[in-house]
């Protein structure tokens, strides 16, 4: 199971697996690396490690060539944020020997990395980060870099931060050269790697009014691909592949019908900012029920409460409102452990066929219980459940869920299409997206969206800036074509993939229903164990400490 180890997913842009496809789409394939720690994530084929999770990293990364001459940098691919920012070569947090470091070749993963610092307050600048693995960008070394003299500043709940300036330059990916791409250069950051955000424009760090009262949206990477004719529509598909696989891909401007089974159903993105008169900012969808069952029983119980769920590929585990999480764990024979912050359940056998199934309004996505099991070094009959509590009524569905889903993100029509992921696909069957998602149909419960404390939304509000994100950011600027002054918040991550599949998956399962809390929020309860990915899009990591002796 990939969740027992550190996981670094690198996008290798080889001509065999990436680049322009005809009709106009753009495909990036990625490889997955596993290891006991972040530093050792170089290819553990069995995907296992004893529990004692510290600074577990789970992310998907892209190698970019930036500037003229090109400088290689590795950045996190994040569907939950919308800005591209890269680490500057003068970052004082880089150890002196690793400043001005550029990646030598695509997918170079042999260097070690100590991971970003994480403290309650801004740490003092100390040269402790090895910046050689992911590379840095020397803006003075690029003949084509253009600064607009605007400042970039992001802070996150765990004390990680990035600050620098905004500018534009050429960005090269395999088979693709994009000029005048807007991005930020973080000349000071305690994070080891930058972020390649491909989310909704409302998540851009420049959106919220800043200290000088200016705010704006600019064209981020997905929109630039459309404007340059690389794709026909601002949309992309995400396929994580099976937990044991070493490959997966993100497909801009198209859907690959070979990567899912059953029907592809479309849901509206729930606009939690509709009362502010702005467009959706995050990939939230409505979950209408959860069931747990196996082949030995055929009873089904569904919940009448709706849950708001953020589909977030930057989150490793799953976060559920406390009441819902308690009921789900109870149905698995589990109990919450205050000393660890986790639910402990009887360890399933290797042949256990229990599934956790999610109802999205007339269609279901099945996920294996094994996805959620964290194997520890405590008692052999006890397992740790990879589902954590949050306060409020909003859930976050991370990779434990998304690995079983095929997800299409339509950033123009504010919709998400889901299907059950197919791990046994043959040849690709790629179809470009020019209007509606090809092969997708509206879910039977399309209009039955979550309302909670927010207005019901079908994702059709007018675009514009808004507030309310977890991480704070500011960018003060002079007037420029694509950048200006602002102070904004950068919020919970991305949802990259989500599952959907054929309907009626639960006919032969015993199940339990789970009620939903009516509070909103994203804070993990009980000792703060578990850090919401929403509060830290830079690191895209789940950080927690498990004390083995407490299980014995």
Q: Which residues are catalytic?
A: 78, 312
- With contact defined as beta carbons under 8 Å apart, do 284 and 491 qualify? no
Q: How far is it, in rounded angstroms, from Cα 255 to Cα 261?
A: 13
Place of tokens 């919450």: 336
Q: How far is it, in rounded angstroms, from Cα 110 to Cα 91?
A: 22
Burial of 119 per CB tally in 10 Å (0-12, 13-18, 19+): exposed
Q: What are the E-state strand segments in 373-414?
A: 373-374, 382-385, 387-390, 394-397, 405-410
Query: ∠222-480-273 over CA atoms, to 5°?
Result: 50
Retrieve residue 76's tokens: 């996190």
**Ramachandran angles phi, psi of 201, nearest 5°:** -60, -25
Place of tokens 């949309």: 235
Q: How far is it, in rounded angstroms, from Cα 102 to Cα 100?
A: 7
- With contact defined as beta carbons under 8 Å apart, do 45 and 267 qualify? no
Nearest to 64 by CA among 193, 245, 255: 193
**Ramachandran angles phi, psi of 289, nearest 5°:** 175, 160
- With contact defined as beta carbons under 8 Å apart, do 489 and 470 qualify? yes
Q: How far is it, in rounded angstroms, from Cα 29 to Cα 45?
A: 19
């Amino acid at each position: 199971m990939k969740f027992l180890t550190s996981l670094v997913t690198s996008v290798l842009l080889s001509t065999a697996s990436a680049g322009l496809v005809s009709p106009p789409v753009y495909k990036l394939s990625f490889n997955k690396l596993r290891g006991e720690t972040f530093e050792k994530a170089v290819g553990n084929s069995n995907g296992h490690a004893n529990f004692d999770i510290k600074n577990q990293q789970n992310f998907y990364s892209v190698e970019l060539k930036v500037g003229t001459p090109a400088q290689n940098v590795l950045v996190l691919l994040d569907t939950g944020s919308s800005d591209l920012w890269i680490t500057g070569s003068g970052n004082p947090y880089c150890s002196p020997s690793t400043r001005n470091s550029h990646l030598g070749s695509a997918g170079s993963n042999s260097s070690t990395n100590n991971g970003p610092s994480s403290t309650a307050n801004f740490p003092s600048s100390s040269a402790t980060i090895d910046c050689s693995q992911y590379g840095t960008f020397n803006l003075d070394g690029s003949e084509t870099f253009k600064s607009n003299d605007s400042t970039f500043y992001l802070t996150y709940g765990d004390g990680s931060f990035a600050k620098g300036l905004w500018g534009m330059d050429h960005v090269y990916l395999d088979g693709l050269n994009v000029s005048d791409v807007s991005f930020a250069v973080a000349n000071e950051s305690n994070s080891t790697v930058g972020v390649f955000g491909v989310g909704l424009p409302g998540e851009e760090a420049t959106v919220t009014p800043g200290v000088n009262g200016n705010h704006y949206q600019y064209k981020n990477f997905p929109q630039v691909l459309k404007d340059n004719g690389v794709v026909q529509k601002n949309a992309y598909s995400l396929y994580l592949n099976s937990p044991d696989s070493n490959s997966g891909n993100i497909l801009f401007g198209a859907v690959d019908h070979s990567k899912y089974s059953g029907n592809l159903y479309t849901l509206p993105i729930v606009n939690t900012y509709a009362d502010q008169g702005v467009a959706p900012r995050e990939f939230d969808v409505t979950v209408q029920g959860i069931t747990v069952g196996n082949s030995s029983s055929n009873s089904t119980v569904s919940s009448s409460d709706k849950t708001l769920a953020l589909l977030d590929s930057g989150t490793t585990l799953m976060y559920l409102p406390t009441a819902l999480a308690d009921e789900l764990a109870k149905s698995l024979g589990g109990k919450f452990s205050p000393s660890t912050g986790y639910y402990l359940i009887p360890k399933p056998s290797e042949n256990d066929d229990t599934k956790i199934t999610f109802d999205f309004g007339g269609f279901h996505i099945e996920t294996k219980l094994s996805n959620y099991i964290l194997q520890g070094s405590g008692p052999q009959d006890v397992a740790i459940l990879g589902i954590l509590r949050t306060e409020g009524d909003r859930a976050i569905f991370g990779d434990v869920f998304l690995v079983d889903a095929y997800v299409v993100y339509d950033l123009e029509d504010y919709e998400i299409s889901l299907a059950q992921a197919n791990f046994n696909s043959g040849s690709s069957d790629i179809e470009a997206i020019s209007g509606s998602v090809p092969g997708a149909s509206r879910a039977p419960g399309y209009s039955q969206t979550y309302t909670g404390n927010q207005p019901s939304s079908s994702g059709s509000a007018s675009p514009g800036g808004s507030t309310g994100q977890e991480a704070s950011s500011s960018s003060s600027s002079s007037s420029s074509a694509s950048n200006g002054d602002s102070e904004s918040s950068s919020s919970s991550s991305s949802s990259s993939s989500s599952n959907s599949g054929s309907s009626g998956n639960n006919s032969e399962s015993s199940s339990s229903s789970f009620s939903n809390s009516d509070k909103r929020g994203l804070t993990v309860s009980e000792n703060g164990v578990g850090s919401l990915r929403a509060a830290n899009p830079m690191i895209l990591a789940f950080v927690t400490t498990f004390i083995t002796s407490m299980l014995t």
